């Protein structure tokens, strides 16, 4: 899986030659993230976040496994074992703060990664499968993060579990039995805590599995790039190692500075004080909010305050509660059809003047507003503001994006990545059509230069 | 197909059905039934266990609750609100035309005969399950003088019926009976 000019792995020592015949693992690594993977030469720092997300998955698994050595998933002692980790276990405070802030950083880098995908249309053919797997990873991350947040068994843990499993009770007919089945009781209790612990331990490994599929799917067409023009020739690429291992290494250093600053100086800045109060099934905190990374979706949930009725008859078609739940899940599930909603053959936002306006002045402000409103109390004016932003969010994907891709006149694309970087491309053989590259979904526009299997 | 020998091809009947198809269907069918029957316990184990179900009835002494007062008890590990309504609150509840309500019910339908002043409901908001305020002294009782859920702003009236906000249903009245005039058994 690489371009024809990719360097081939050549084992040097007798041992690596022996190993290459029996289990070509070093060859796999060489071709995946080594010198054997040619990558467009013009990637900017927005292309760092995939590697960073992988790094934080590892951080979460390592710190999580060691925390599990000291934690007990029982409603009677769970809160106390977390305090035990904080006070008694050697470096327990550091490991727990790394795990809690690691979750936030995982979401930060994933949101940057998704943002990159939106702006540069990384979801377009031939990379739809990478995008779809990415959305699956994001959904798994949300489930994992939610269940992890329940484990300390504080007030926010408990009431978060109550509210989020309560979402399922909105489903007609099967909703309430489904909630009882999910919780293993009529309210969150030992049964729920224990199964959340089990699944919270399992899901990161499922995520790791889907990440492998995500990278596998990436290596078939190869990485996209900021121009959105496909790789045509060897001068368009550089080997992943050492060029992008170095660039990603620099980005990792910057992120680690921020991460350690949070752990050591602001460890609870992103948390809620209420979660240091032990779970109390008889008292709800005055202001239940999820962790910051769920705020935009929580705002969409709360934006639906009225039932969907047939006008003037009073017949309720869909209750407000169910509408909110459908919209909240729909706001992410809509990403699954994004590759087919945005039909523009041009990928990069840099060459799409109309798309760029709606992206910067429509989608991004709408998401920022939803983010802010999701963390605010459920009162006016936040409810009306989140209703407007929710309406725009769905309009953007379902109406604006398809229309833009029909009417927009894109700017001329560079002939090749080399031309975009150097200002000229002296490639002798290719005809200079200057046409839009990588057009219709699923068709190879320049078959001769597709990566060879 | 090209590699099939004469011996295997001759087992084809005129209509293309082979005798061997039957054993394929039987084998896969048996394996499918086996897999499904293993799936059942895996799904069923998630449901409430016997001890959780066994702890699902509660007896409460309601004799000490004065008119206008409410207590919080616990039923199935969830809060239970028991309120002794004042004559004024009963009057307010009965003044409302039930057909105008989101979840139409009269106060009489939500209480037991002979004990119309005792309102027993779950303390679980029907929106997303928070505990409404109003059972304890001095708490916000909302715009309709009953209960108020602070999470997403649902207002319940003196009969704990939903009047305003996102909750779809009235506060749930669990099954209960009077064991004597003083004691109720819930569940």
Q: Which residues of A touch B74 (CB under 8 A)?
A: 281-282
Calpha distance B67→B165 (Å, rounded): 27
Residues B27, B101: one domain?
Answer: no
Residues B56, B24: one domain?
Answer: no
Identify the pLDDT of residue A103.
96
Identify the pLDDT of residue A433.
47
In this prediction, what percent of chain A has a pLDDT beyond 70? 91
Most confident by average pLDDT, A8-12, A51-55, B9-13, B42-46 = A51-55
Residues B38, B65: one domain?
Answer: no
Residues B60, B38: one domain?
Answer: no
Q: Which residues of B touch A181 (CB under 8 A)?
A: 46-47
Identify the pLDDT of residue A289.
86
Q: Which residues of B touch A162 (CB under 8 A)?
A: 128-130
Nearest Cβ partner for B151 among A187, A288, A319:
A288
Beta bridge partners of B121: B81
Split into its structural domains, chain B has a count of: 2
Residues B131 and A283 sit within 8 Å (Cβ to Cβ): yes
Q: Which residues of A touch B72 (CB under 8 A)?
A: 282
Q: Which of A248, A342, A419, A437 is catalytic?
A: A248
Residues A229, A318: one domain?
Answer: no
pLDDT band at B1 (very low <50, low <70, confident <90, very high): very low
- A24: in domain: no
Q: Which of A122, A223, A344, A386 is catalytic?
A: A223
Residues B17, B87: one domain?
Answer: no
Residues A146, A259: one domain?
Answer: yes
Residues A182, A319: one domain?
Answer: no
**Domain ends where: A217, A252, A281?**
A281
- B10: in domain: yes
Residues B38, B72: one domain?
Answer: no
Calpha distance A148→A154 (Å, rounded): 12
- Residue A304, chain B, CB below 8 Å: the answer is yes
Residues A270, A381: one domain?
Answer: no
**Domain ends where: A239, A258, A281?**
A281
Q: ipTM of this predicted complex? A: 0.72
Residues A204 and A148 sit within 8 Å (Cβ to Cβ): no
Catalytic (active site) residue A70: no
Strands (E), A122-166: none
Considering only residues 168 to 207 of chain A, which have any Cβ-Cβ distance to chain B shorter than 8 Å? 169, 180-182, 184-187, 189, 191, 195
Higher pLDDT among residues B93 and A122, named by residue:
A122
- A348: in domain: yes
Domain of A230 in residue numbering reads as: 31-281
- A145: in domain: yes
Nearest Cβ partner for A282 among B52, B56, B131:
B131
Mean pLDDT calculated for residue range B131-151:
84
CA distance B3 to chain A (A): 28
- B1: in domain: no
Instruction: Output phi, psi for A71, to 5 deg.
Output: -100, 150
| Residue to test with chain A: of B57, B73, B140, B166, most A Cβ within 10 A | B166
Residues A109, A229: one domain?
Answer: yes
Identify the pLDDT of residue A102.
96
Residues A175, A255: one domain?
Answer: yes
Residues B125, B152: one domain?
Answer: yes
> B168, A305: Cβ pair inside 8 Å?
no
- Residue A305, chain B, CB below 8 Å: the answer is yes
Please calculate the CA angle A295-A262-A114 and round it to the nearest 5 degrees: 45
Split into its structural domains, chain A has a count of: 2
Residues A192, A303: one domain?
Answer: no
CA distance B25 to chain A (A): 33
Residues A252, A273: one domain?
Answer: yes
Identify the pLDDT of residue B12.
58
Residues B99, B18: one domain?
Answer: no
> B129, A288: Cβ pair inside 8 Å?
no
Residues A124, A39: one domain?
Answer: yes
Nearest Cβ partner for B52 among A167, A191, A307:
A191
Residues A386 and A369 sit within 8 Å (Cβ to Cβ): yes
- B76: in domain: yes
Residues A240, A297: one domain?
Answer: no
Mean pLDDT calculated for residue range B144-153:
84
The rounded radius of gyration (Å) of the Cα atoms in chain B is 29
Longest dimension (CA), chain B: 95
* Chain B residue at shortest CA distance from A304: B166
Rounded to two decimals, the pTM is 0.85
Residues B70, B92: one domain?
Answer: yes
Residues B75, B150: one domain?
Answer: yes
Sequence-separated contacts (24+) of A201-204 with Cβ below 8 Å: A201/A64, A201/A68, A203/A140, A203/A143, A203/A144, A203/A147, A204/A57, A204/A60, A204/A61, A204/A64, A204/A144
Domain of B21 in residue numbering reads as: 6-44
Residues A311, A240: one domain?
Answer: no
Give the tens place of pLDDT for each residue, B63-83. 888 888 888 888 888 888 998
Residues A248, A296: one domain?
Answer: no
Q: Which residues of chain A have pLDDT under 50?
A: 430-453
Catalytic (active site) residue A396: no
Q: Which residues of A touch B127 (CB under 8 A)?
A: 166, 321
Calpha distance A177→A159 (Å, rounded): 19
């Amino acid at each position: 899986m690489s371009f024809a000019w990719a360097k081939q792995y050549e084992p040097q020592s007798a041992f690596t030659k022996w190993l290459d015949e029996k289990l070509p693992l070093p060859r796999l690594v060489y071709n995946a993230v080594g010198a054997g993977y040619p990558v467009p030469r013009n990637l900017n720092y927005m292309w760092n976040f995939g590697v960073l997300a992988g790094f934080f998955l590892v951080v979460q698994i390592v710190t999580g496994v060691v925390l599990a050595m000291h934690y007990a998933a029982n409603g009677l002692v769970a809160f106390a074992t977390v305090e035990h980790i904080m006070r008694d276990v050697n470096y327990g405070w550091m490991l727990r703060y790394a795990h809690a802030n690691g979750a936030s950083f995982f979401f930060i880098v994933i949101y940057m990664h998704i943002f990159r995908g939106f702006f540069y249309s990384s979801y377009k053919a031939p990379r739809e499968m990478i995008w779809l797997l990415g959305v699956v990873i994001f959904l798994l991350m949300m489930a994992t993060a939610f269940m992890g947040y329940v484990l300390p068994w504080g007030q926010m843990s408990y009431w978060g579990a109550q509210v989020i499993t309560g979402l399922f009770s909105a489903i007609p007919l099967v909703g309430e039995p489904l909630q009882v089945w999910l919780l293993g009781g009529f309210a969150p209790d030992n049964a729920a805590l224990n199964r959340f612990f089990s699944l919270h331990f399992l899901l990161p490994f499922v995520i790791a599995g889907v990440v492998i599929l995500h990278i596998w799917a990436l290596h078939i067409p190869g990485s996209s790039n900021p121009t959105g023009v496909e790789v045509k020739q060897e001068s368009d690429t550089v080997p992943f190692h050492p060029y992008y291992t170095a660039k990603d290494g620099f980005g990792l250093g910057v992120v680690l500075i921020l991460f350690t600053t949070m752990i050591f100086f602001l460890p609870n800045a992103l948390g809620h004080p209420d979660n240091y109060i032990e779970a109390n099934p008889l008292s709800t905190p005055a202001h239940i909010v999820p962790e910051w990374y769920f705020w935009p979706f929580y705002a969409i949930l709360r934006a639906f305050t009225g039932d969907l009725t047939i006008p003037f008859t009073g017949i309720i078609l869909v209750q407000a509660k169910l509408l909110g739940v459908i919209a909240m899940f729909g706001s992410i599930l809509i990403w699954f059809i994004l590759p087919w909603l945005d039909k523009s053959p041009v990928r990069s936002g840099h060459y799409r003047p109309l798309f760029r306006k709606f992206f910067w002045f429509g989608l991004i402000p709408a998401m920022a507003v939803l983010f802010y409103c999701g963390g605010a109390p459920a009162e006016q004016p936040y409810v009306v503001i989140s209703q407007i932003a929710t309406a725009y969010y769905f309009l953007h994907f379902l109406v604006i994006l398809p229309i833009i891709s029909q009417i927009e006149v894109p700017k001329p694309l560079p002939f090749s990545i080399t031309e975009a970087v150097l200002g000229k491309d002296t490639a002798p053989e290719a005809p200079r059509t200057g046409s839009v590259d990588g057009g219709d979904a699923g068709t190879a526009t320049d078959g001769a230069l597709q990566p060879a299997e | 197909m090209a590699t099939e020998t004469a011996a295997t091809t001759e087992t084809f009947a005129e209509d293309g059905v082979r005798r061997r198809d039957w054993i394929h269907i039987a084998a896969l069918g048996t394996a499918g039934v086996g897999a499904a029957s293993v799936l059942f316990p895996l799904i069923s184990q998630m449901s409430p266990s016997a001890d959780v179900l066994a702890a699902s009835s509660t007896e409460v002494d309601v004799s000490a609750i004065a008119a206008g007062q409410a207590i919080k008890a616990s039923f199935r590990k969830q809060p239970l609100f028991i309120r002794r309504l004042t004559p004024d609150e009963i009057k307010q509840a009965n003044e409302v035309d039930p057909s105008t309500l989101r979840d139409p019910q009269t106060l009489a339908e939500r209480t037991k005969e002979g004990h119309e002043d005792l309102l027993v409901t779950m303390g679980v908001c029907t929106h997303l399950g928070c505990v409404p305020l109003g059972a304890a002294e001095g708490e916000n009782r909302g715009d309709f003088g009953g209960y108020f859920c602070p999470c997403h702003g649902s207002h319940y009236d003196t009969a704990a019926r939903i009047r305003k906000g996102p909750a779809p249903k009235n506060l749930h009245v669990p099954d209960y009976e009077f064991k004597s005039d003083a004691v109720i058994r819930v569940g």
